[in-house]
Amino acid sequence: MSMRNKKQISLEIEIEKARFEKDWASLANLLKKYAKLNNISESPLECLVQAERFISEDDYSNALIALNKAYSLDPNNQEVIAYLAVVEYKRNDLALAMKHLSKLNNPFTNINSNDVLLNNRKVGLLIQAFNIKGKCYENQGDPQSALTSYQNVTDIAFRYFKNLRLIDSNTKPFIEDSLLRVAMIQKYFGNTQIAIKQIRSSLSLQMGLTSNSFVKSLWTLSQLLLRNVPSASFIPMMDISDPNNAAVQSKQQFYIPHDEVEEAILALQNAEVVLPNTNMDIGHQSLLYEDLCLAYSRKQQFYNIVEIYEKSLVVKFNDHHKWIQLALALYSCGKYKRSLFIIEECLSYEPKSTTLLLLASKICINHLSQMTKGIAFAKEAIQCIDQEDSTLLSTAYLSIGVAYCKKAIECKSYNEKQTNQELSLFNLKKAYILDPYDYRASYQLALIYSDIRDTPLGLKYIHESLGLNSDEPSSWNLLSILLSSNKNYELAYRACKHALSQSPTNVELLLTKAKIEMALDDGSQSLITYKTVFTFLSNDTLTSCRDNDDTESLPRNSRNQSGPSSVVSFDIRSATTADKSHKSSTLQSLSETDTFEDSPQSTKDLLRATSGSTSYASNTEIARRVHLWLSLCEAFTQQRMFKDAALCLAQAESLDNNNADIFYHQGYLLEIQDYRDKAISHYHRALTIDASHTATSIRLAGYYLRENDLLLAENNLTTILRSADPTSHQAWFQLGLVLKSKGEIERSSDCFKRAIELDKTAPLIPYNTIPRYIN
């Protein structure tokens, strides 16, 4: 190599270094030396340097003059073409930019390229130019060509840079943008899986994404997963079914999402952490929170949604819509009192919102037993609803009807009960007239007619309800009970079995089935049915609408300590059954009838299987479980399995030691075993708790009758029939016996006739035990 060539190469290296550092003073001297050494007055290199200086100063007009001069001197120079395209794009002249970009070649795929890529600066310029080319094609509506351009960016970057961490800060944003745009174009073409794979790859690159690109990539990935990927087509990052991959995961203790929602949550959580370090505005933070809420709602993680809306309100406190969403989230996770409080505050700003008024009414009636307040909200809604909107009006009247129906059940006075039943019937009829195609109105009408013992009308409306919605378990349950009141047990049993084929875990249906089986003298099958109910005791199926506001504290953010299993930190639906999943194995062993021997063993198994499951149970839940234990006690008693029945009563008493039903059953169990003195003391304790307890008063009257204390027996029964329960056929029959013993044959005959009439419509399960709520 000659001395002259060595000097030129050395000079070119110095010039390139100064260009990279933008040292314009040194460049002026170096370019003079370069011109003197090559004996040229003007070169493309000098024009390019001038253009670079003008571009750095955002002086695109002079930069364009210098670049045109360079282009006239060397029209095939790829660097000049790239700079011309960049400047024209900066000047918003996309047509001229595309004219120059059409001459641009990828040096790694074009074998005729004359340019030799020697440094990071030239590669960065080409990457920028191809990125701009892709944007221009997108602007022209040519996504396929845009995809090719963006792929050229990644091709040049990954072929040239052997170590991605060496990519300079000016070039990196164009590569990141191209990677993201490739994914978005693939999504546009419907190639969702390719788009997801592309973003996963970009997130795993070793070059280290900038905060903005990292957040955008995570956010885009989460949106693709949440909105475009069904569970059936989800492809995990690693196949954990492969033993080798499972061993790697176990050894390294890193988390692998099990489905698209978990991966989306993981991506959004990471984006949320990095978001404060970006230059994105508050609006982006709110949108990210909304996507997080969408993801958590797919997993029914309502506590997490509440926390997110609370964070979102810190960002934008006066957002009325978010307050309403927070109230709905609280409602979904069972925090009804807080939800109602927020709704009432929202109503102070929007007093004519029928949606909020009806929701407030629903919370009061269904969950808080605040009937008067619920009725007031519903009446307010009626005043705000357009009279032509029959659907909403029907819902409002339905709420009022259900509220009066529930008030009637709670009344101790029969006159007050009748008044509330009449008001309920009036409002439910209005709801039915306004919207005869709403199955809820027909169902509630059937319920109120059942309460007043009008079985034909009850059957008429329940058939209508099932005709409108045959998938509602509550309607089938009521139909079975109504049929049992007609003593048509076989048909009731078939209806119940059909409903259970649709809803096999519905506890109300299972309890009705067990009662019907007892009526059909199939006590052993009834016990098996009760055992089935216990298998669902720890599940959420126990109650249709429960109030978790009764819980003082719930375990939050509890994870499985055995290793990373789920990104979802807490599920309110499983809060009451944490660490109880192993209990079901005990119940599975009780699969045959002969396990229910006349010994405490089988019941003890049930006790062990359900012990501790009430740690966080609400009042509604406890009442349901007490009812379940008492029903099982009744089944054991009918089979004369007294030890098992006693154990059931002990378990019920451990749940609620101030319950009149429990003392009644304890007394009855003692009485049929001829421990009458002890039985009477339990009956008295039951009446101390509830003076209008019908069953206890009837048993006491029978005792007084046997003791020939006819006056006290008559007083007990007449008090019950006048004020508490005039529809009790057993009370009327017992009163007939008392009057017959007194010699009052005519009055006695009337009582027997009344008992027979009422017995014809007496259900196996009292109608007042059927849950009343607004769907």
Residues 6+ apart with CB under 8 A from 57: none
Return the H-helix or E-strand segment holding 645: helix 642-655
Q: What would the mean pLDDT of 730-754 be, rounded to a whole number?
A: 93
Q: In whole angstroms, how far apart are CA 281 and each of 275, 286, 315?
A: 9, 9, 11
pTM of the model: 0.74
DSSP 594: G
Once rounded to an integer, what is the mean pLDDT over residues 621-632?
84
Under a CB-based contact definition with an 8 Å cutoff, are residues 179 and 154 in contact? Answer: yes
Residue 601: pLDDT over 50:
no
What is the domain range of residue 718?
694-775
Which residue has 């008693």 as its token pair?
637
**Which of 158, 239, 229 is CA-nearest to residue 195?**
229
Spatial distance between the Cα atoms of 438 and 431, rounded to a whole number of angstroms: 9
Q: Using only the alpha carbons of the chain, give its radius of gyration.
A: 39
Task: Report pLDDT digits (tens) over 91-113.
Answer: 999 999 999 999 999 888 865 55
Domain annotation covers residue 657: no
Check which CATH number belongs to the domain holding 717 and give it.
1.25.40.10
Q: Identify whether 732 is part of a domain.
A: yes
At 572, list the tokens: 């309110």
Select from 260, 254, 218 the least CA-distant residue to 235: 260
Q: Is 610 within a domain?
A: no
Beta carbons within 8 Å of 242's beta carbon, 6+ residues apart: none
Distance of alpha carbon 686 from alpha carbon 705, whole angstroms: 19
| Alpha helix positions (H), 140-259 | 143-160, 172-188, 192-204, 211-228, 243-252
Mean pLDDT of 321-328: 93
pLDDT score of 613 more than 60: no
Report pLDDT digits (tens) over 643-686. Answer: 989 999 999 999 898 999 999 999 999 999 999 989 999 999 99
Task: Using the predicted structure, report yes or no on whether residue 565 has a pLDDT greater than 70.
Answer: no
Average pLDDT across the chain, whole number: 84
Nearest CA-CA partner of 507 in 537, 546, 471: 537
pLDDT tens digit string along 570-589?
Answer: 233 333 333 333 333 322 33
Report whether pLDDT(458) > 70: yes
pLDDT at 85 over 70: yes
* Total number of domains in the chain: 1
Per-residue pLDDT tens over the stretch 369-380: 999 999 999 999
In this structure, is residue 375 part of a structural domain?
no
CB 708 within 8 A of CB 683: no
Tokens of 492: 């009731």
Lowest-confidence pick of 507-516, 561-570, 610-619: 561-570
Asked if residue 627 has pLDDT above 90, the reply is: no
393 is a domain residue:
no
Q: Output the pLDDT for position 4.
A: 54
Considering only residues 593 and 223, tell me which one the structure prediction assigns the higher pLDDT.
223
DSSP E strand boundaries for 300-406 = none
761 within domain boundaries: yes
The answer to whether residue 727 sits within a structural domain is yes
Q: Name the residue type at position 733.
A: F
Mean pLDDT confidence for 618-644: 84
Instruction: Please name the residue ranges forming H helices in 452-505.
Output: 455-468, 473-485, 489-502
- pLDDT score for 634: 87
Q: For residue 714, what pLDDT band results from cuts at 50, 70 and 90?
A: very high
Write down the pLDDT at residue 183: 94
In a domain, 710, yes or no: yes
